Amino acid sequence: MSKHMIWIVIYLFVLIWSGIEPKDQFTWFLEVAPALVAVPVLIATRKRFPLTPLVYVLILIHSLILMVGGHYTYAEVPLFDWLAQLLGSERNNYDKLGHFAQGFIPVLIAREVFIRNEVVKAGGWCSFICICFALALSAFYELIEWWVALLTGEDAEAFLGTQGYIWDTQSDMGMALLGAIVALLVLVKTHDKQLSAFKSATD
């Protein structure tokens, strides 16, 4: 079985599980929507602009995080309920993992697109611009959450995942910023190696 087929099987298996009797159907759709959009985009660009294996794996991981959050809602993921009790906290912090990933994964996607399209060379400025991109994406997602809450005329608590925390929006963006920085600190060398190997294979 090819790596692409393994990717698809894992994605579909978790997606189907996620969609079976989720905590709230509307919240499930809202949370999983980015993962549903990602697949057609990846299929459409696979031949024209295939990505490095690292980025494909990261996109899958991000999709799985969204699917788990969509199934339970971000405030009620069982493992993070258990962790909250273990740490003596009342807050389920799975949403913070989701927002960390919201910086961790997009920053590498942006880096790959920017470098391969020669928008900017690898280095300090590239890292800075990619972090700015990830943070802007996180801020835009917070706006989407706000718009959805306004348009649906509902409290949208399950989708917003604030759990009564007044600084939730700011901390969400802070986690995305942290995720973007951590990704660049730990994965740039691996990413550069795959980019070089990819360039050699396509030349």
State the SS3 of 48-107: CCCCCHHHHHHHHHHHHHHHHHHHHCCCCCHHHHHHHHHCCCCCCCHHHHHHHHHHHHHH
**Tens digit of pLDDT for each residue in 79-97?**
876 666 666 666 777 888 8
pLDDT of 171 higher than 60: yes
The terminus-to-terminus CA distance of the chain in angstroms comes to 27
The predicted structure's pLDDT at residue 142: 80
* Model-wide pTM > 0.75: yes
For residues 118-139, give the mean pLDDT.
Answer: 92
What is the per-residue pLDDT for 1? Answer: 67
Q: How many CA atoms lie within 13 A of 115 on its CB side?
A: 25
pLDDT at 88: 60
Query: Is the CA virtual torsion 144, 119, 57, 189 positive or negative?
Result: negative
Write out 114-176 in H/E/C secondary structure. Answer: HHHCCCCCCCHHHHHHHHHHHHHHHHHHHHHHHHHHHHHCCCCHHHHCCCCCCCHHHHHHHHH
pLDDT number for residue 104: 96
Instruction: Please give the pLDDT value at position 18.
Output: 94
In angstroms, the CA 59 to CA 56 distance is 5
Report, as an integer, the average pLDDT of 173-179: 92
pLDDT computed for residue 105 by the predictor:
96
pLDDT band at 75 (very low <50, low <70, confident <90, very high): confident
Q: Is the pLDDT of residue 175 over 70?
A: yes
Q: What is the mean pLDDT of residues 139-151?
A: 78
Q: Please name the residues in contact with 71: beta carbons below 8 A apart, sequence gap of 6 or more.
A: 17, 18, 19, 22, 23, 28
Higher pLDDT, 31 or 16: 16
The yes-or-no verdict on residue 117 having pLDDT over 60 is: yes
Residue 184 to residue 123: CA distance in whole angstroms:
11
Whether the Cβ atoms of residue 183 and residue 130 lie closer than 8 Å to each other: no
Q: 159 or 182: which carries more pLDDT confidence?
A: 182
